[in-house]
Chains A and B, each alone.
Chain A
Amino acid sequence: MKKAILTCLTAAGLALGAGPALSAGKLSVYHWFEYIPQELLDKFAAEHDVEVTMDTYDSNEALLAALKGGKLGSYDVAVPGDYMVEILAKEGMLDTIAAGELANKGNILPQWADVSFDPGRMHSIPYQWGSTSFTVSRDAYQGDIRTTDMLFNPPAELSGKINVLDSQGELLALASIHLGIEQCSNDKEKLKQLNALVQGAKEHWASFISDGAKDVLVSGEAAVGMIWNGFSAKARGENAALEYSYPKEGYLVWMDNVVLLKDAPNRENALKFMDFLLEPENAAAVTNFAQYTAGVGGVDDLLDAELKASPELNPPADAPAGQFVQVCEEATQVLYDAIWTNLKK
């Protein structure tokens, strides 16, 4: 007879302690992972006597897919990036914030008060913004790094030690900037050029990693890595040889925005939450946590001194303005999809 080696463990540790005191209302947040300090959510919950629940996603596209897949109506607010605000609005997934509904709307900095992806800020408020470019390990390379050649036409000693983001929109937009062609072009010659550029550059690239973009640089696995500025600042904290570049050809900027979702179950609390995030003190708390930049005025004095002076957040004076990733028409987008599939086949 064989002895049974499997022991059944009865999970008896489910302590059914008293739940939290019943709150007057609820707020359901759909947010990026690791992008808001828990203390801030607790503070809002305490101030307004609201029970806050949060689910997270890891990409703008995942947010869209979830909302399309039937999650619309179960969340009050979400935090899409710039181009995704435009897409969600076109898909009819956003509610309109009427004039006067947000008491703190005036706190928004003038340059972000009216933006191309949400004219008049009808559906959204700024959360954080930053840039997308690349970071180079100064141990591996001492020359001039302020050029997109570092990614697309790298010096021989860096070939095979480059990581790029596994993100179609950002990579192809940065490649377009490198070539000096406009985004969402449907000009055949320009697209063939773009296709040839990324095909040729791929042999220099070691990997397409987004969530580990910081780790590959810190560990030295990559000597050059495409990355977001705040993520790069965190990387520099772990490896001092890393330097973020603002290339002369240009770079990408992005802004994450809090939007009011259509059919929000707790619309009132959603508006309260948006007002809460527009207060300089709370916006500063997010910035100190995420290390990007707030879109709200009066934040500067509340930031950590080190963060305020960080080279990642302060482009050199001669750096050009960054470009947002643009939303293409369907017929054009298909062409960019084909280039991307062709790149990764």
Chain B
Amino acid sequence: MAGPGNSRGFQGVFTPLRYWLLLPSWLVVGFFMVAPVLIMLVYSFLTKEFRGGVIWEFTLAAYDQFFLDRGLFGDEPPKIEWTYIGIFWRSVWQAGLATVLCLLIGFPTAYYIATRPPATRNIWVFLVTIPYWVNLLIRTVSMKFLIRDNGPINEWLLSAGLIAEPIHLINTPVAVQLGLFYSYLPFMVLPIYAAIERFDFSLCEAAADLYAGRWFALWHIIIPNVRPGIVAGCILVFIPSLGAFLAPDLLGGAKNFMIGSLIEEQFKGTAGNWPFGAAASMILLSVVLVVLFFNARNRATQTSGAGH
């Protein structure tokens, strides 16, 4: 009964209200995203006040501190400062590895779920999300209890005679990886699942009819088609991992700064260097935007390429 005219008429009811209805979204984006970022941008160019706060004088000191090393006493000729670049690099590397691990486990999981009968798929999705009803902090602390030297996993392996010495995981980079991987796995599974579920498997049958092997079909038919889901999953895992500091602090023993804890220290630490914390946030934001930009451009090229 609902013809095109009918639906246009329905939309028409809201036409005069269109901008007012958008207002809440604009306010939320403006107040909670744009304004804080702008404040940080401005703060990063201001002079630091001792023990927190800013003085309204323009300076590049925060960016200078990030990129240039003038020695402990500031009296040496400037060299490139590797300290903060190193901290960023460690975070990027760790987030990248967590993303790869999530993809390796997440893709087969999503594929499995998407190929179940429709009636049982939802149960699988439900099971994937259940652990995430518990707070991230509690899950991370529980993981710590599980993997420590005299935790249940080591106790069991020892009593079963499978190992002679406890496996030392806690306070190592491996434990941090485990924490990140575990924290963000559903962010990888769910978008890929959504993509595979929409995938038309008759394409695979067609490929099989044309003598394509299973792996060939996977690489050349399925993966290109569910690519947006994979990319979305990777972004959703990579970006929060980049700023994560719960897993590095609790499972890695907080021995080294991550981007997140470095920035936190600037706002909450003894000296309180707000402009430097703001500058580090801006640099992090720039890195993330560059990654997203290249992804968007890549996609645009691919789409236009596919059109030919």
In the bound complex, CA of A345 to CA of B258 (Å)? 8
Q: Which of A62, A87, A166, A191 has the most CB of B within 10 A?
A: A166
Q: Is the CB of B270 within 8 A of A337?
A: yes
In the bound complex, CA of A340 to CA of B72 (Å)? 11
With an 8 A cutoff between CB atoms, is A91 at the interface? yes
Residue ranges of B at the interface with A (Cβ–Cβ < 8 Å): 50-53, 72-73, 83-84, 86-87, 118, 122, 125-126, 148-150, 170-171, 253-257, 267-273
In the bound complex, CA of A202 to CA of B257 (Å)? 14
Known: A192-B72, A341-B257. 7 other contacts (CB 8 A): A64-B51, A168-B270, A219-B150, A221-B148, A337-B269, A345-B84, A345-B256
Closest to B123 in A: A5
Q: Which of A169, A205, A208, A341 has the most CB of B within 10 A?
A: A341
In the bound complex, CA of A338 to CA of B84 (Å)? 12
Q: Is the CB of B150 within 8 A of A64?
A: no
Q: Which residues of B contact A330 (CB under 8 A)?
A: 50
State the Cβ distance, B16 to closest chain A Cβ, in Å. 31
Q: Is the CB of B257 within 8 A of A61?
A: no
* Contact-residue bracket for chain A: 35 or more
Kindly count the residue-residue contacts between A and B in the assembled complex, taking CB atoms under 8 Å apart: 85
Q: Which residues of A contact B170 (CB under 8 A)?
A: 221
Q: Is the CB of B171 within 8 A of A68?
A: no
Q: What are 17 A-to-B residue pairs whose CB atoms are below 8 Å?
A: A61-B268, A61-B272, A64-B272, A65-B272, A166-B254, A191-B72, A202-B255, A207-B253, A219-B148, A221-B148, A221-B170, A333-B270, A334-B271, A342-B72, A344-B256, A345-B87, A345-B256
Q: Is the CB of A206 within 8 A of B268?
A: no
Q: Is the CB of A339 within 8 A of B50?
A: no
Q: Which residues of B contact A2 (CB under 8 A)?
A: 118, 122
Which A65-92 residues have a C-beta within 8 angstroms of B?
65, 68, 87, 91
Given contacts A65-B272, A208-B255, A221-B170, contact A345 B267 (CB under 8 A): no
Residue ranges of A at the interface with B (Cβ–Cβ < 8 Å): 2-3, 5, 59, 61-62, 64-65, 68, 87, 91, 163, 166, 168-169, 188, 191-192, 195, 202, 205-209, 219-221, 330, 333-342, 344-345
Q: Is the CB of A87 within 8 A of B51?
A: yes
Q: Which residues of A contact B148 (CB under 8 A)?
A: 219, 221
Q: Is the CB of A337 within 8 A of B271?
A: yes
Q: Which residues of B contact A3 (CB under 8 A)?
A: 122
Q: Is the CB of B256 within 8 A of A91?
A: no
Closest to B90 in A: A345
In the bound complex, CA of A202 to CA of B150 (Å)? 23
State the Cβ distance, A201 to closest chain B Cβ, in Å. 12
Q: Is the CB of B50 within 8 A of A209?
A: no
In the bound complex, CA of A341 to CA of B269 (Å)? 11
Closest to B122 in A: A5
In the bound complex, CA of A209 to CA of B249 (Å)? 8
Q: Which residues of A contact B255 (CB under 8 A)?
A: 202, 205-208, 344
In the bound complex, CA of A195 to CA of B72 (Å)? 10
State the Cβ distance, B207 to closest chain A Cβ, in Å. 27
Closest to B253 in A: A207
Q: Is the CB of B53 within 8 A of A335?
A: no
In the bound complex, CA of A207 to CA of B267 (Å)? 22
In the bound complex, CA of A68 to CA of B73 (Å)? 29
| Contacting residue for A209 out of B51, B83, B84, B253, CB 8 A | B253
State the Cβ distance, A7 to closest chain B Cβ, in Å. 11
Q: Which residues of B contact A59 (CB under 8 A)?
A: 268
Given contacts A5-B122, A208-B253, A344-B257, contact A335 B73 (CB under 8 A): yes
| Contacting residue for A169 out of B73, B253, B270, CB 8 A | B270
Closest to B145 in A: A219
Closest to A2 in B: B118
State the Cβ distance, B107 to closest chain A Cβ, in Å. 23
Q: Is the CB of A207 within 8 A of B171?
A: yes
Q: Is the CB of A333 within 8 A of B271?
A: yes
State the Cβ distance, B81 to closest chain A Cβ, in Å. 10
State the Cβ distance, A200 to closest chain B Cβ, in Å. 15
Q: Which residues of A contact B270 (CB under 8 A)?
A: 61, 168-169, 333, 336-337, 340
Q: Which residues of B contact A166 (CB under 8 A)?
A: 254
Q: Which of A336, A339, A340 has the most CB of B within 10 A?
A: A340
